[in-house]
Structure 1
Amino acid sequence: MPAPELTPPQSSLPEAVSRFGAHVLADAAARAHDVRAVTGGPPRASALPDPPHVGAALHAAAVPHPAAPPRLDGAVTEAPARGADLGPVLRGPSGLGTSGLRQLLRRAEPPVLPGVPTPPPVPGPPSADPSQAAASGSAPPEGRPIPGLYFHPVPEPDPVRVAEVSRRIKEWALDEVSLYPDDWEEEFDGFLVGRYMVGCHPDAPSIDHLMLATRLMVAENAVDDCYCEDHGGSPVGLGGRLLMAHTALDPLYTTREYQPLWADSLHADAPRRAYRSAMEYFVRAATPSQADRFRHDMARLHMGYLAEAAWAEQDHVPEVWEYLAMRQFNNFRPCPTITDTVGGYELPADLHAQAAMQKVIALAGNATTIVNDLYSYTKELDSPGRHLNLPVVIAERENLSEQDAYLKAIEVHNDLMHEFEAEAAALAAACPVPAVLRFLRGVAAWVDGNHHWHQTNTYRYSLPDFW
C-alpha cells in the first residue's frame, strides 16, 4: 500500500495576496471573530475622500483599532487622539472595556503603579535641566512648530511610561554597554529618548516592548555620532567601521579559528556594544522575518551613511534630487518599520514586501527625515564644517537665499506627507486586512510622534529667524 502523500505546506496568506484580491478579503472576513476580540467590533469600512482631498486620506480611512496598550498595573490607556481633522483612523480604541478611557486621560496626576517610582508633578515652568526632565518624565520647554509645516499635533506622551523608559535606558547604557563617558551624560539626557519612543509607539503593550525600540534608537545614534558625526566621526574609513558594526546585527558565520576573534570585536567600541546588545533583545522578541526585515533596513541606512560620507570627502554638494535619493536610505526607516514588533504583533512578510507597502514606509521615512533636516538646521549650521541638509542643498543648487531655501524645504516635506497619507489610505482601502490596517496606523503614529519630539526638544533644536 503506497504511503499517503503529505499535504503540501500552505501559506498563511492567500495565493493572490499580491493583487489584494478576493482571497485576501475572504481571509480577513474569516478571521473577523479574532478582530472583534481585539478591537471590540468587526473591521469597519468607509469611503475614501474624493481625489482632490487625498492629502488627509489616511486619517479619513477607517482602520480597526487594536486594544489599547495595558499599563504596568493592567489598566488601559487610550491611544492619543490627533485632533478633529484626523478622523477615525487614529482616534483610539472602541468597544468593550474602553468606555472609561477618556476619564483616565483627564486625571490630573498619573496613577501610582506598583514597583515604578511615581514621578514628581510637572512644575509650572518645566525644568530646563534635561537630566531632570528625563529622570522625572516631565516635558521640556515646549518648542513652537515650524510655521507652514504640515503635521498632526499629539498629546504629551504618558509621563509614567516616559519616566520608566528613561530610567531603564540609562541603566542599560551605563551598566550593560558602557555607552558613553561621564562628560556625555547631559547630552544623553537631553536627547529625551524616553519621550521620543513613548510618543512614537502609543500601542506598545508594555514597557518591555517600548524598550526594544528605545535600545535600537540609542544604538543607531551612537553609531551615527561616533562613526559619522561630532563624537569622533569621520568619512575616512567609514565603510570598514560600518561593516564591522553591521555584523553585530547580521552575525558573521566563519571558521572556528576566526569566530572568537569576531565575537571579541563586538565589544571593541561603544557602537558595536550597543548594536550587539540591542539586537539580542530585539531578536528574542521578534519573529525571524521581523528580525531580517530590520537587518535589511539597517543595511539601507548604512549605505546612505556611506553616500553622504563620499560626498563629504569630495566636498561635493549633490543635486536636490540626488540628496533626496540619499535621504531615502539615510533616514528613519528602521524605526517605523518595526512598529509591529513594538506593538506585539506581526505584519506578515508577504504583506510587508508588497510594493505598495514599501512605498508607504519609504514615504514615511522620507518625510520624518526632512523634519529632522528642518528642526536641526540651526544646530548643524553652528557645528564645524559643512553639514548637508535639504535647505543647504536647495540654496546651493537652486541659487536661493537661506530663507527661501528653507521655506522650499518645508514645501518638499509637506508634499511628502500628503503623498504618504494618500498612498497609505489607498493601501488601507485596497487591502483592509487587520494586520495591514494596524501597521499603517502604527506608522502614522510614528510619523506624528517623531514630529512632536523634534518640536518639543528645545535642548537640541531651535528654529531659524525666518518669520
Structure 2
Amino acid sequence: MPVPELPPPQSSLPEAVTRFGATVLGAVAARAHDTDAVGGPTGGRPLPGPPAGLSFGPPATAVPPTAVPPTALPPTALPPTAVPVTDAPGQGVGLERLLRGPHGLGTAGLRLTPREERPVTPAPREGRPIPGLYHHPVPEPDEARVDEVSRRIKAWALDEVSLYPEEWEEQFDGFSVGRYMVGCHPDAPTVDHLMLATRLMVAENAVDDCYCEDHGGSPIGLGERLLLAHTALDPLYTVREYQPEWADSLHADAPRRAYRSAMDYFVRAAGPSQADRLRHDMARLHLGYLAEASWAQQDQVPEVWEYLAMRQFNNFRPCPTITDTVGGYELPADLHARPDMQKVIALASNATTIVNDLYSYTKELDAPGRHLNLPVVIAEREGLSDQDAYLKSVEVHNELMHDFETEAAALAAACPVPAVQRFLRGVAAWVDGNHHWHQSNTYRYSLPDFW
C-alpha cells in the first residue's frame, strides 16, 4: 500500500514556516506516493523481521491511519484551537502573571487568554490539562493502530525479552505506551515503523525504573550499570577471549535484554547515521542520569540552572530525534548536525521533559524519598511556596515552547529543504503527542490542587 499522505500539523510553528509549508509538504507527499509502504524517500527497503534468535510470532497486518489530506502549516503562533486558560481565582502574583501570558517585545500574539473561536473541549478520558500551560490539542490517536501496537509491544516484552514479572503487568498496561507512540508519530507509514519507537521507549523506561528509580534502582553503582547497558546499543569490540562474556552479559537483566533487542530492530531499519545519532543521544541521556544520581547520593538540591542543564541531557531527546526513521525517511546527517537544528531539537526535548516534571509532580511527592523535579528545585532554591514554584515552572515550560517554535520557524526559513520541513513537523508532532499522553494518562498522573 502507498505511504499515507502527511497528516495536518499538530503544533503550529510561527508564520515563517508557512512560506514553505504548502509547496514542501506537497512535494514530500507526492514523493511518498512513488515509494512502497515502508521505504519512504530512503529507497523502499522493507523493514526487517526480528533479530536472529528471537521469537516473534506471526506478523500482524499493518493498520493504516485514517486518511487526512495534507495541509499547509497555519500562519499563527497560537492556533484558534489552542486550549484557553479557564477562569481561575487569583492566588498570588505567580498565578496572575501566568494567566496574563508572556510579556515583552514580540509576544503580543502569544496570548493564553480565551479567543473568540470555540475551544477544543477535551473528551472526559483526556484528563485535565494544566491551567496556563502552553500547548496544542491533538486528535485522539488512531484506535486500530493503538490496539495493534499495544498487542505487539506486550508480546515483545513478555515473549522476546522477559521484561517484567507478572506483578508489574498492571503498571505496564497503565503506561499506555501504544497510545503514547501512535500519538507522537502520526506520519509513521506502518505499525512496523511505530514499533521501532515503541520498543525503544519501553527499553528506556526499563533502564530508568530498574537502574535509577522505583523498581530496584539506586544511585549507588549506577555508572557501571549504565555503561554495561550502553554496550547493548553501542557494541563492544574486543579480543576474542572476552567477547563471549560480553555477549552473554547482554542477557543478564531485563534492561539489557530490552536495549539489545530494541536496538537490533532499529539498526536494521535505520541508516548508519540515524543509528549513530541515536547512540549519541542515549549517551547524553545516561550522562544526565549520572548527574541526578550524584545529587541523590550527596542529598543535594542543585541550583535551578544546574537542574535545567541536567534536564537537557536527562530528557526525551532520543525520542523526537528518531522521528525520521519512524516516518520512513532520513534527514541527512549534515542537516541534522546543523547548530540551528540541534538547538531546535534541544528546546523541544527540554520543553517536553518539563511537561513530565509538571504532570508527575504529585506522583513523585507520594513516592518514597525526595524526587527532584523543577517545581521542587525552584521552591528549595528560590524560597517560594510549592504553588508559586509550580506556577513558575509552568512559565519556564512556556518560554521553552515559544523559543522552540520561533527557532523552528527560523530554521525552516533558512533551510527550505523537504526533509528539514518534514523533520520539523515530526518533532512538533512529538511535542504535542507527548503532552497529550501526559494529560490523558490519568492512571499515572494527577494535578496538584493549586487553582
Do they fold alike, i.e. is TM over 0.5?
yes
> Which runs of 5 or more residues in structure 1 are unaligned?
1-36, 41-53, 92-138
* Contact 2:18 2:73 (C-alpha < 8 Å) held by counterparts: no
Query: Which of 121, 138, 143 is matched with 1:154 structurally?
Result: 138
Query: Which of 327, 333, 341 is matched with 2:317 structurally?
Result: 333
User: Structure 1 residues 179, 80: closer, same or farther in 2, change over 3 A?
Assistant: farther
In the alignment, what sits opposite 1:345? 329
Per-residue CA deviation, residues 415-455 of structure 1 (Å, 9 max, x unaligned), is 00000000000000000000001000000000000000000
In the alignment, what sits opposite 1:207? 191
Per-residue CA deviation, residues 97-142 of structure 1 (Å, 9 max, x unaligned), is xxxxxxxxxxxxxxxxxxxxxxxxxxxxxxxxxxxxxxxxxx9832
User: Structure 1 residues 398, 384: closer, same or farther in 2, change over 3 A?
Assistant: same
User: Structure 1 residues 162, 75: closer, same or farther in 2, change over 3 A?
Assistant: closer
* Contact 2:211 2:225 (C-alpha < 8 Å) held by counterparts: yes
User: Structure 1 residues 450, 82: closer, same or farther in 2, change over 3 A?
Assistant: farther
* Contact 1:150 1:414 (C-alpha < 8 Å) held by counterparts: yes
User: Structure 1 residues 75, 147: closer, same or farther in 2, change over 3 A?
Assistant: closer
In the alignment, what sits opposite 1:237? 221
Aligned-partner SS, 1:372: helix
Question: Aligned ranges for residues 1-40 of structure 1 at < 5 Å?
Answer: none
Deviation (angstroms), 1:221: 0.1
* Contact 1:327 1:366 (C-alpha < 8 Å) held by counterparts: yes
In the alignment, what sits opposite 1:78? 68
The reply on whether 1:376 has 2:366 as its aligned counterpart is no
* Contact 2:64 2:190 (C-alpha < 8 Å) held by counterparts: no
In the alignment, what sits opposite 1:409? 393
User: Structure 1 residues 61, 269: closer, same or farther in 2, change over 3 A?
Assistant: farther
User: Structure 1 residues 247, 79: closer, same or farther in 2, change over 3 A?
Assistant: farther
Question: Aligned ranges for residues 184-263 of structure 1 at < 5 Å?
Answer: 184-263=168-247
Q: Amino acid of the residue matched to residue 226 of structure 1?
A: C
Aligned-partner SS, 1:256: coil
Separation in 1, partners of 2:73, 2:312:
29
* Contact 2:64 2:189 (C-alpha < 8 Å) held by counterparts: no
Separation in 1, partners of 2:438, 2:271:
31
The reply on whether 1:291 has 2:280 as its aligned counterpart is no
In the alignment, what sits opposite 1:267? 251
The reply on whether 1:437 has 2:437 as its aligned counterpart is no
Separation in 1, partners of 2:405, 2:354:
16
In the alignment, what sits opposite 2:103? none
Question: Aligned ranges for residues 386-401 of structure 1 at < 5 Å?
Answer: 386-401=370-385
Separation in 2, partners of 1:382, 1:203:
37
* Contact 2:63 2:191 (C-alpha < 8 Å) held by counterparts: no
Q: Amino acid of the residue matched to residue 349 of structure 2?
A: G
Separation in 2, partners of 1:373, 1:343:
28
Separation in 2, partners of 1:74, 1:313:
48
Separation in 1, partners of 2:164, 2:14:
42
User: Structure 1 residues 202, 350: closer, same or farther in 2, change over 3 A?
Assistant: same
Q: Amino acid of the residue matched to residue 68 of structure 2?
A: E
* Contact 1:61 1:425 (C-alpha < 8 Å) held by counterparts: no
Give the percent of matched residue pairs that are identical in Structure 1 and Structure 2.
Answer: 79
In the alignment, what sits opposite 1:50? none
- Which structure has the bigger radius of gyration? 1
Separation in 1, partners of 2:406, 2:202:
31
* Contact 1:58 1:424 (C-alpha < 8 Å) held by counterparts: no
* Contact 1:165 1:211 (C-alpha < 8 Å) held by counterparts: yes
Per-residue CA deviation, residues 300-336 of structure 1 (Å, 9 max, x unaligned), is 0000000000000001101100000000000000000
Separation in 1, partners of 2:383, 2:78:
43
Separation in 1, partners of 2:224, 2:426:
34
Deviation (angstroms), 1:38: 9.6
* Contact 1:60 1:87 (C-alpha < 8 Å) held by counterparts: no
TM-score with structure 2 setting the length: 0.78
Separation in 1, partners of 2:72, 2:387:
30
Separation in 1, partners of 2:63, 2:439:
31
Q: Amino acid of the residue matched to residue 213 of structure 2?
A: E
Q: How many residues align?
A: 370
Aligned-partner SS, 2:156: helix
Question: Aligned ranges for residues 34-53 of structure 1 at < 5 Å?
Answer: none
* Contact 2:13 2:73 (C-alpha < 8 Å) held by counterparts: no
User: Structure 1 residues 81, 88: closer, same or farther in 2, change over 3 A?
Assistant: farther
Separation in 2, partners of 1:291, 1:180:
26
Deviation (angstroms), 1:370: 0.1
Separation in 2, partners of 1:204, 1:452:
18
* Contact 1:57 1:421 (C-alpha < 8 Å) held by counterparts: no
Query: Which of 149, 158, 162 is matched with 1:174 structurally?
Result: 158
User: Structure 1 residues 231, 74: closer, same or farther in 2, change over 3 A?
Assistant: closer
User: Structure 1 residues 140, 237: closer, same or farther in 2, change over 3 A?
Assistant: farther
Deviation (angstroms), 1:72: 3.5
Q: Amino acid of the residue matched to residue 241 of structure 1?
A: R
Aligned-partner SS, 2:131: coil
TM-score with structure 1 setting the length: 0.75
Per-residue CA deviation, residues 130-155 of structure 1 (Å, 9 max, x unaligned), is xxxxxxxxx98321100000000000
Separation in 1, partners of 2:76, 2:185:
18
Separation in 2, partners of 1:237, 1:159:
42
Deviation (angstroms), 1:78: 2.1
> Which runs of 5 or more residues in structure 2 are unaligned?
7-11, 38-60, 82-122
User: Structure 1 residues 79, 300: closer, same or farther in 2, change over 3 A?
Assistant: farther
Question: Aligned ranges for residues 439-458 of structure 1 at < 5 Å?
Answer: 439-458=423-442
* Contact 1:55 1:418 (C-alpha < 8 Å) held by counterparts: no
* Contact 2:5 2:69 (C-alpha < 8 Å) held by counterparts: no
